[in-house]
């Protein structure tokens, strides 16, 4: 920007900055989103550095591209859960999927949050600092009972011991490691994160007949519009798109059909 105008960007007025941002967007048919983003963020940092936040206009926000999330098939979920050798890691993956947990919600789980009698999991202070209950399946509860008997956690459900013998909860990096190792051993090519399991949970529940409002409550979404994203992923509602090539060859092989 300094080379383009021949002066420091802090000296530019509103129209000049807008013209340059528009110039970047029109520079190519497919302008680099990353380059444009860092230009905007760089300007914000420059204005803050020079104390010009009030003097200069608010720079336009950058709209995130609308991408549909990665979703695992049911068979891929089974392979992922079965991949780890440690029961702790299998339960971490199974519980994340079976309850549609965010990673932070998983890490904050304590032993007392499991209600075996009601078959519910108490999510404390989830996103938006809201509590909620989600149902837990019989298979997961059975695995949790075995896990509690063998590992005997006293506070956090998923924990580790430090070199000094201190008990601390699992970290975000530990969860990433568990999922990456499970993905590798399961032979999956898809990108797998905690949110991939959450997306798969939501999609599979819709496909199994759960209504969108109940799904919103289970996921802890504030807005139904956020939950409705999964309607674009799940194979429900309108007739599933079929392959015309399959239909052509199906007719050729069986003309009476």
What are the phi and psi torsion angles at 253 (to 5°)?
A: -80, -25
Residue 23: what pLDDT? 77
State the pLDDT at residue 33: 64
* pLDDT score at 32: 59
CATH 1.10.443.10 segments of the chain? 74-232
Q: Specify the pLDDT at position 213.
A: 87
Which residue in the list 103, 198, 199, 216 is annotated as catalytic? 198
Amino acid 166: pLDDT: 85
Rounded distance, CA 148 to CA 154, Å? 9
Residue 67: per-residue pLDDT: 76
pLDDT value of position 256: 60
Q: Is 127 a catalytic residue?
A: yes
Tell whether pTM > 0.85.
Answer: no
Residue 149: predicted pLDDT: 94
In the structure encoding, which two tokens stand for residue 213, read together? 């409002």
Query: What are φ and ψ of residue 160, in 5° steps?
Result: -145, 165
Active site residue 102: yes
Question: What pLDDT, on the 0 to 100 scale, is given for residue 128?
Answer: 61
Low-confidence ranges of the chain (pLDDT < 70): 27-34, 53-65, 126-128, 235-257
Question: What CATH class has 74-232?
Answer: mainly alpha
Asked if 202 and 213 touch (Cβ cutoff 8 Å), the reply is: no
Catalytic member of 89, 102, 183, 216? 102
Is there a catalytic annotation at residue 147? no
Residue 56 a catalytic site member: no
Catalytic one of 127, 145, 160, 184: 127
- Block residue for tokens 């971490």: 92
């Amino acid at each position: 920007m300094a080379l383009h105008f021949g002066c420091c960007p802090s000296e530019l007025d509103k129209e000049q900055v807008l013209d340059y941002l528009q110039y970047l967007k029109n520079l190519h048919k497919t302008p680099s989103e990353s380059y444009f983003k860092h230009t905007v963020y760089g300007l914000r940092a420059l204005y803050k550095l020079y104390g010009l936040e009030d003097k200069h206009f608010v720079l336009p926000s950058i709209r995130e591209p609308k991408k549909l999330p990665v979703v695992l098939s049911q068979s891929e979920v089974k392979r992922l859960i079965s991949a780890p050798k440690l029961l702790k890691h299998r339960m971490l993956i199974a519980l994340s999927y079976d309850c549609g947990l965010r990673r932070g919600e998983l890490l904050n789980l304590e032993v007392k949050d499991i209600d075996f009698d009601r078959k519910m999991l108490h999510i404390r202070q989830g996103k938006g600092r809201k509590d909620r209950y989600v149902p837990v399946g019989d298979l997961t509860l059975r695995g949790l009972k075995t896990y509690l008997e063998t590992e005997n956690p006293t506070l956090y459900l998923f924990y580790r011991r430090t070199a000094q013998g201190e008990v601390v909860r699992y970290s975000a990096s530990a969860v990433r490691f568990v999922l990456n190792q499970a993905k590798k051993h399961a032979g999956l090519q898809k990108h797998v994160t905690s949110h991939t399991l959450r997306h798969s949970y939501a999609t599979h529940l819709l496909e199994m007949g759960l209504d969108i409002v109940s799904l919103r409550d289970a996921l802890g979404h504030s807005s139904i519009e956020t939950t409705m994203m999964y309607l674009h992923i799940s194979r429900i509602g309108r007739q599933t798109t079929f392959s015309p090539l399959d239909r052509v060859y199906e007719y050729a092989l069986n003309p009476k059909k």
